[in-house]
Amino acid sequence: MSRKKADTQVPTARAILLDEMLSPAIAEQLRKRGIDAVALTEIQGMSGISDEEVLTYAASVNRVVITRNVRDFVMLDRQWRDAGRVHSGIGCLDSQRFRQDRAFVGNVVTALEKALRAESLQAQTTCTFITA
């Protein structure tokens, strides 16, 4: 699929791509619950790519990006919308609500599963804030 085509078609899948800041243990737990999830760190050759490249890749494979990097991805979302580009969605995890502690992985897994069941993470060009 060409880049231009990936950037302008509205995706329909609600599969998840966890950005590099999130543990692959989250993706593993989501898969155990029947959710199509992959961590960026599980994909060979993807380590260290830019946020723009993450969003472009996710759009090309119809995956919603899940991130703790709220500021940068909100800015990217705005830039993409202003340019008429379409991505598969961005789910932002607030670092105040999802603290990096022992319960972090479980809390994120539960919140993502809940958001998917409630259809809060729509596969469209939106930026959604995920709450606990």
Please give the pLDDT value at position 1. 42
Distance separating alpha carbons of residues 42 and 30, to the nearest angstrom: 14
Q: pLDDT grade, residue 115 (50/70/90)?
A: confident
> In angstroms, how far is the first alpha carbon of the chain from the final one?
36
pTM of the model: 0.85
Q: Which pLDDT score, from 0 to 100, does residue 99 have?
A: 78
Check if the beta carbon of residue 22 is closer than 8 Å to that of residue 70: no
Output the pLDDT for position 98.
85
Pairing of strands 37-39, 63-67: unpaired
Each residue of 36-65: pLDDT tens digit?
A: 999 999 999 998 999 999 999 999 999 999
The domain segmentation of the chain, as residue ranges, is 3-130
Give the pair of three-digit tokens for residue 81.
């919308």
Token pair for residue 103?
């319960």
Class of CATH domain 3-130: alpha beta
